[in-house]
Structure 1
Amino acid sequence: MFRRVTAFVTGLALLVTAMVVVKLPSASAVALPEVAALSAAPAPLSTDVHIFYYPWYGNPAGQGRYLHWDQGGHVPPQFLGADLYPTLGAYDSGDSATIHQQMAWIGRAGAGVIVYSWWGQGSQPDTLAARVLDSAGRHGIKVAWHLEPYGGRTDASTVADINYINSRYGSSPAFYRDAAHGNRGVGRHRRLLPGERAGLGTVRGPGVHRRPGIAGQHHTDPGPRQRRHL
């Protein structure tokens, strides 16, 4: 009887050991899906593929407080005002490492152009634009411009903004030019207000691509449900 009990305990111990080995393999023995996906060859960059880029976000480390992550009454960093929880968490849009990582991901996806959400001269996106252009250029990505409807914008300020963007950032190798439309680089994709239409008629040269009722390279607002975070 003793021998049977001993044999049973020994067998049980071997079974438990085997189970432990199966359930707790070494890290090198298993390739996680995320790692396998990242090891795939990146897609070739195409300037026909554009992706919207929103540099609105901030956290206490970069801005002293959360910016936009708390919209809708959310309490970051656990709960964020975003459709999907970002891989980088409640990141700061001005953090250089974050920008480089995002550009690397965009490049691997094959998107050759980012459409940069710009909220006027001196805004947070404006102060970060040079940093984004530099990082985008290092990854072979171009930067197009989406002039947002910031408060107080007029026909005159729109013309001034277009000239400002061209003069301040137009020399960057990453500045997107639409060769098929006269190398124009600044785009808007919101329908013009009546007071703004006349002013845009004064813009000449490579500043803006005008179409009936709409000026810019992009026709439709993506809407909040389509805005995603890297």
Structure 2
Amino acid sequence: MKIPALLTILILPLSLLAARPTNAQAAAPTFPIRAAFYYPWFPETWGPVSNRYTHYTPTLGYYNSSDAATIDDHIARMEYAGINVGIASWWGQGSKTDQRISLLLAEAHSRNFYWTLYYEPALSSTQVALDLTYIATHYGSDPNFLHVNGKPVLFIYTRAVNSCTDVATWETANAGQFYLDPQVFAGYRLCSVQPASWHQYAPTSAEDKQTGYSFSISPGFWLATDAAPRLVRDPSRWRLNVQDMVASGAPWQLVTTFNEWGEGTAVEDAVQWQSPSQYGVYLDELSSNGHGLRVAAQSSAPPLPVRTCIGLCHAVLKSNGLDGRFHVGAPGDSKRVDASSLEGAAKVMLVAFAIQSDGGKGGSSCPRWTYRARFT
């Protein structure tokens, strides 16, 4: 692909743009809920450039979970796949994962997408009570923090709850404030104190069913330090897994995972499983509920967020030694503005742009161009 000679940008007053749904318009998801385990812990867990902690290459590259454009892109991809809830790994107050929760929630505002937390640490009952108060105070009232039956939802990993005694301790500390959903353990159905729901996190199993509670699926498992995968990826099997999950009718239909790259369980797009839709074969099957790619290549896929397009414009211009400024207006318009001002402009919004190649041919839509740009 030739380096673009001109990037032509169309800007319109905000009053002329079709409004996105507001939080007041958005309705919280109802059962069955399709959710994906999500990891906002990059770049900390990518490992050194010379030895990345993954066998795969994400299409977005080795991104930063603190980057708003990346979060926008991820939410758009999950929405395409029919995933309307992200279960974000959380490692305690003040941790890197905690510092990014506000960004995740902010990027979901005005969208029908919700977040909850996956409580990971094993801590004392006193600290659990403090953490529940902290989560409720800092995140629980956000309109895009998932609620079920009027309560904020909290998933709990097995290291924090692995016995009936632990369940009772959590429920006491909770005092009915949260809708708690711990990971299952042997004999969990026999506990005298029962939480609101249960789930299994089983990335080495293609399917897991916890009758009455959850159905989870995993595309594969290949730990970065393992020589071979423990669960081999197979798109044909994945299609059947998605069909089984949908047919189960389980209240919680869980994808393990969106982006746990170190364990090799990600359904996020990667160089190794690209597809014509630009979303990757695993998200394609989720999008169609296991009935094959439902969108035409390139043209029909939902557009990626505006800020993603702008960010990639910046990156490509910079990497090609261009001046970092866009032509704004109709083709041939000589007016130029600093690209960095576009995101903060109060009265204009970038809605589309086209590329004029050195050969003078017309360009393409934002989604197609961003897809191509990543490989330039």
TM-score scaled by length of structure 1: 0.64
* Matched residue type, 2:112: G
How far off its partner does 1:183 sit?
2.6
Is the 8 Å Cα contact of residues 52 and 115 (structure 1) preserved in structure 2?
Answer: yes
Q: For 1:202, which of 149, 163, 173 is the aligned residue?
A: 173
For 2:151, which of 183, 202, 208 is the aligned residue? 183
* 1:130-173 Cα deviation digits (max 9, x unpaired): 010111234321111110126xx222212221221111111211
TM-score (norm 2): 0.41
CA distance in 1, matches of 2:104, 2:119: 16
Tell me the number of residue pairs that the alignment of Structure 1 and Structure 2 aligns: 170
For the residue of structure 2 that corresponds to 1:209, the secondary structure is strand
Rate the CA distance shift 1:216–1:163 in 2: closer, same or farther, 3 A: farther
Q: Is the 8 A contact 1:145 1:186 kept in 2?
A: yes
Cα RMSD between the aligned structures? 2.8
Q: Which has the larger radius of gyration?
A: 1
- 2:77 match: secondary structure: helix
Q: 2: CA distance between counterparts of 1:207 and 1:46? A: 17
Select the structure that is richer in helix. Answer: 1
Residues 116 and 215 (structure 1), Cα distance of their counterparts in 2 relative to 1, 3 Å cut: farther
The Cα of 1:199 is off from its aligned counterpart by 3.1
How many percent identity over aligned positions? 27
What secondary structure sits across from 1:107 in the alignment? helix
Matched, 1:145 2:117: yes
Counterpart in the other structure of 1:50: 35
One-letter identity of the residue aligned with 1:209: L
1:185 partner SS: strand
Residues 33-182 of structure 1 aligned to structure 2 (within 5 Å): 48-58=33-43, 67-70=44-47, 75-76=48-49, 79-149=51-121, 153-179=123-149
1:210 to 1:99, Cα distance in 2 relative to 1, 3 A:
closer
Q: 8 Å contact 2:125–2:173 — kept in the other structure?
A: no
Give unmatched runs, 5+ long, in structure 2.
Answer: 2-27, 183-187, 205-220, 222-255, 257-264, 269-376
- Whose RCO is larger (CA < 8 A, sep 6+)? 2
Show CA shifts across 1:20-52 (max 9, x none).
xxxx9xxxxxxxxxxxxxxxxxxxx96510011
Identify which range, 112-121 or 170-179, moves more after superposition.
170-179
For residue 156 of structure 1, give the secondary structure of its aligned residue in structure 2.
helix
Higher strand share: 2
